[in-house]
Amino acid sequence: MLTYANQLTILRMVFVPVFVMLVVYGHMTAAVAVFIAAGITDTLDGLIARRFGQKTHLGTYLDPIADKLLLVSSFIVLTLRNASLPVQIPLWLTITVISRDVLIVVSVVIITLTMGRRIFLPSVVGKVTTAVQLLTVFAVMTSAVFHFLIPIVQPLMYATLVLTVTSGLHYLIRGMKIFEYNREQVL
């Protein structure tokens, strides 16, 4: 059950409170290092699971939970007022990111409760959105490390907004199609 891949996923979850504390206390270089380490464990757990046949039922749940914990925690902590941040993630963007994730979770729960367990594969739009969200977090933290606003931060924030809304709508439409398909099967 606790394969090497799952252990790396759990390690990524352990990194989340460490990352949050480092940002809150203004240790941005260390926070960037932990954020990068979390990214490396995310890449490694997927490679190990595929390469060595360590895909598990537990891993299919833990991996997205670990990703969301890191991402949502990053957005929240980088939105809070902090003297060590030359730029912060605006509250409107954090609310948009969290709202999309809540929408996805609620949709999955509703579909699972009404139609039984389903496999929900991430879409390309969802993966691109997550990548841009992570890049936004990294750019904000890098600005803090070097104590100046990196010019790409503002465009990344707007790209994150557009992609987050687009992927949220995309997942909503996918969920509605699952309901429609299931309704047609019943009739």
pLDDT in tens, the chain (187 residues): 789 999 999 999 999 999 999 999 999 999 999 999 999 999 999 899 999 988 998 888 899 899 999 999 999 999 998 777 889 999 999 999 999 999 998 988 888 888 887 777 888 999 999 999 999 999 999 999 998 888 999 999 999 999 999 999 999 998 888 878 776 766 5
One-letter identity of residue 35: F
* Eight-state DSSP code of residue 90: -
User: Can you tell me the distance from the alpha carbon of 97 to that of 78, in angstroms, rounded to the nearest whole number?
Assistant: 13
User: Can you tell me the distance from the alpha carbon of 17 to that of 13, in angstroms, rounded to the nearest whole number?
Assistant: 8
Domain ranges of the chain: 1-83, 90-187
User: Can you tell me the distance from the alpha carbon of 139 to that of 58, in angstroms, rounded to the nearest whole number?
Assistant: 32
User: Can you tell me the distance from the alpha carbon of 54 to that of 61, in angstroms, rounded to the nearest whole number?
Assistant: 14
Nearest to 157 by CA among 178, 171, 140, 174: 140
